[in-house]
Structure 1
């Protein structure tokens, strides 16, 4: 009979799949190393098991111990599977930008999940790097994994992923393309492939807000390049020891929007339900092709890290995509500008209401301007700037009637007004436009709606 002794025995030997629709204009053969077939649905199962087994052999992970790691979710899942089979406790420290699905999955496999803020420096005691280290110091009989600097990370891919790619392509692979986070996958696989054939090119996919590309090209760690980004699983604001820049031939950067859009396209056009970094990887590969990196005789392997089930509340959710301007929508007339919030009522304030009422309404509905109405209809407007000026003149303005501080009513346009006409009506003095919906009803267009249409 053919069976694995436990779930860890199913790690590795993932399939290679030919890509078709999204790469139809490329001159080369593109193959996807499809890592979601691992039991934890990601490439990270490989290095998680390797790191655990090496820690056991070194005596730093002892029976009944606790494994502690800062993770974007996938390494935590791999470690959690190993912990279940081998009898360890698991604490995953995760940043708040990671999907809720990842956090729920980690809890489902018995891990304790500690959530930390994303937008803090790595040295900040609140960061998931610092929190992981602190928990390891405070927890008896614990082992801090540190996948970023742990050499077993690269070792796993040198020993398994690299040889699999070489054998599956019969040694014909000419390029390896993969998103870079901890650096273990690209460095381990890249080292193996270049050992077998020094002419193999290794390309890393980076994201905007990360330091890798500039550091590779200039040797400069530029802190000005570090800023928050949405893409999960790739890019860093540190230089992990596992990123072997000498193995990497170069990087290309992919935007958050392109990463999200191409993640969805992989599902709809290739039948590949994958995670966020896969969208980055395939878009990055297309960018490399535009730079003339591939020829007709090339065999390009792109590695896809994880499964789409961890992103159903993000990239695969239309509302999430729309809120971030990631869904390409055609805006032509005024009615197009309000279609994303036409179901919400127009918030107004009456002329005789107090300024405090308008402030409460702004706070409750998170808006910056409100039309003012009386029994005849819309007769004025008030916004944050009006209220600020009024407060500077009178500290007791909150108890003043709205009619005493309101400005002119917002211009009114028809639903068919073209966007260029609407845009001209938005000025420094005028922050909004009303759309006439008929029967005395109106809706509001703000600067935010105009920006979304750009």
Structure 2
């Protein structure tokens, strides 16, 4: 195969970087699905690195036209990163200040990129109920009101978000496939991409195109319990203390013909495989979409033309999904080497925050565990016991207080070890005072071990 000559298709200079938003290519996943026609729409080739460039530009232009955003104003948004990057790019190119509220677990690459654009960043705890004033959306809404010239982009409720996909993303896919597309596969974050693109493809095909929502297993969109998942920029998490949960206003459930739920492990390993087999360095949500698209193609047969929207680049996740260290410490990769801790995975008894000392003491004594994990999960939570974030590990000595008192929660979260690590690797990073640790597999609590048991594994 010879390299194509691109000289004949050179484009004239653009007046602005923003003129390059959209028009992303389709690439056939020939090695991943040699017997099927599966295409990936590479949204990470937008200049800001993600599909959110489209919504960001559309929302700003709409706000300028309506007068909601005036010269010298400040763009404010609550975001997990990609929409913020798109808005920061637009702000820099059009002369606005930008201010973003992000969860404290956002990938460091995204934070550094926002700072490079000149954006101001406010971090807020990721594990907050929707009603908390420091929740990402509530915090951003408050800052927009308090900031002179502030304008809240509101990607979750701004109709310009799905509309831009109806006007651009959908038509691009239809034209690129010559109208042959049979299935669209996309993840759901705000819901804007799948809603707008799906609406267009339904209409132009007379309902022939099936729209498939690819969703993390625990995400509430696809019917999960809303407990935490590891994939950024996709899915719907429900904090256990949230009183009333709502889906984004821009999301239209009726556009989606079916859901396919993808486990975090499959999403992450698919993203990693795309880099190695297709040369596509993509993020975790792209792995979710690609994994679902490969399933759809296998079910649909040889005449299917499946298009998966890959939202963002793996360059934003080099410290996470594409880091061998991270995936092993989170237990997403534990079967590729001898001697990992995967064999120590077990069921765990936990208690939620607010449990009484008496209840906790009884639970620990009957469990046979060396310590009792206190997890972020309300008493009425739908989460499984292992789904909540581990806030602390309590010994019998920690539970010596009055029986009716609430269990103490350590100020510093415990260090967890992953099922993909060896005992020697885990011990190397544990402090000298560590006595008990919790084991994580697929990002979830999967055991409680003494440091002595780890040393015994080393022999």
Tell me the TM-score normalized by structure 2: 0.71
Contact 1:331–1:337 (8 Å) recurs in 2: no
Question: 2 CA distance for matches of 1:192 and 1:92?
Answer: 31
**Secondary structure of the equivalent of 1:153?**
helix
Q: 1:385 to 1:87 in 2, by over 3 A?
A: closer
1:301 corresponding residue in structure 2: 307
Q: Counterparts of 2:70 and 2:400 in 1: how far apart (Å)?
A: 67
In structure 2, stretches of 5+ residues that fail to align are 1-10, 238-245, 344-369, 372-392, 403-423, 425-446
CA shift, 1:124, in A, is: 1.2
Shift of 1:286: 3.1
State how 1:93-108 maps to structure 2 within 5 Å. 93-108=101-116
CA 1:211 to 1:337, structure 2 compared with 1: closer, same or farther past 3 Å? closer
| Counterparts in 2 of 1:434 and 1:158: CA distance versus 1, 3 Å | closer
2:193 matched to 1:200? no
Per the TM alignment, residue 432 of structure 1 is displaced from its structure 2 partner at its CA by 7.0
User: In structure 2, do the counterparts of structure 1 residues 29 and 307 end up closer, same or farther at CA, with 3 Å as the change threshold?
Assistant: same
1:175: how far off? Answer: 0.6
1:234 is matched with 234
| Maintained 8 Å contact 1:123/1:129 | no
**For 2:45, which of 37, 40, 44 is the aligned residue?**
37
Deviation at 1:433, TM superposition (A): 6.1
Match runs of 1:255-266 below 5 Å? 255-266=263-274
Distance 1:331 1:19, change over 3 A: closer
Residue 22 (structure 1) aligned with residue 28 (structure 2): no
CA distance in 1 between partners of 2:457 and 2:395 (Å): 17
Q: Check if 1:243 corresponds to 2:251.
A: yes
| Residues paired across the two proteins, number | 350
1:236-286 deviation digits (Å, cap 9, x = unpaired): 244111111111101111122222111111101111001111111112223
**1:388, 1:68 → 2: CA distance?**
44
Q: Deviation of residue 319 (structure 1)?
A: 1.1
Change (3 A) 1:391 1:245: closer
Gap change, CA 1:173 and 1:138, over 3 Å in 2: same
Q: What are the equivalent positions in structure 2 for 1:269-418 lying under 5 Å apart?
A: 269-289=277-297, 292=299, 294-329=300-335, 336-337=340-341
Q: Secondary structure of the equivalent of 1:30?
A: strand
Describe the shift of the 1:146–1:432 C-alpha distance in structure 2 as closer, same or farther (beyond 3 A). closer
Give 1:111's aligned residue: 119
Q: Cα gap change, 1:72/1:297 in structure 2, threshold over 3 Å: closer, same or farther?
A: same
Query: Displacement of 1:337 after TM fit?
Result: 4.5
Describe the SS at the equivalent of 1:177.
Answer: strand
Determine the C-alpha separation between the residues in 1 that align with 2:83 and 2:232: 13
Cα distance, 1:45 vs. partner?
0.7
User: For each residue in 1:81-105, what CA deviation from the matched residue of structure 2 results, as whole angstroms up to 9, or x when unmatched?
Assistant: 1111211110111112220100110
Q: Secondary structure at the match of 2:32?
A: helix
Structure ID, larger Rg? 1
The aligned counterpart of 1:56 is 64
Q: Does the CA-based 8 Å contact 2:36-2:297 persist in structure 1?
A: no
In 2, are the aligned partners of 1:35 and 1:306 still within 8 Å (CA)? Answer: yes
Distance 1:123 1:385 in 2: 33
CA–CA distance in structure 1, aligned partners of residues 394 and 165 of structure 2: 56
Contact persistence 1:178–1:186 (CA under 8 A): yes
| TM-score, normalised via structure 1 length | 0.72
Provide the C-alpha distance between the structure 2 equivalents of 1:285 and 1:390, rounded to a whole number of angstroms: 53
Does 1:444 pair with 2:456? yes
Please list every run of at least 4 consecutive aligned residues from structure 1 whose deviation after the TM superposition is greater than 4 angstroms: 335-339, 383-392, 430-435
Other-structure match for 2:389: none
Match of residue 74 from structure 1: 82
Over aligned residues, Cα RMSD in angstroms? 2.9
Which stretch has the larger CA shift, 236-245 or 152-161? 236-245
Q: Give the drift of 1:121.
A: 1.3
Structure 1 or 2: more helix by fraction: 1
SS at 1:23's partner residue?
A: coil
Verify the 8 A CA contact 1:338 1:444 in the aligned structure 2. Answer: no
1:127 aligns with 2:135: yes
Superposed displacement of residue 331, structure 1: 7.0
- 1:338 to partner: Cα distance: 11
